Amino acid sequence: MHLNMSASDRPQKITFGEMREMGVRGLLIYCADYRCSHSIAISGDAWPDDARLSDIEARFLCQARGKRGSDEWLR
């Protein structure tokens, strides 16, 4: 089976609306560099229901490394 995705494509993640429907209101944002392990807990209330986690993850800037990119966990 062949998937039509380039190497730079990331999978689409859940929307904030879907997240809220499950009762999840917060996010744990981790630096994308596994060696860094810097993290922060934030509220997901600022984003509209149709925004996806995959749409915003590149916007995050690691305060420890000064680099962009993140991995997030719902809480």
What pLDDT is recorded for position 70? 58
Query: With a threshold of 0.85, does the pTM exceed it?
Result: no
Q: Domains of the chain: which residue ranges?
A: 16-74
Amino acid at 28: L
| pLDDT averaged per 10 residues, the chain (length 75) | 45 87 89 80 91 83 71 50
**Cα–Cα distances in angstroms (integers) from residue 5 to residues 10, 11, 12, 49, in the given order:** 9, 9, 12, 26
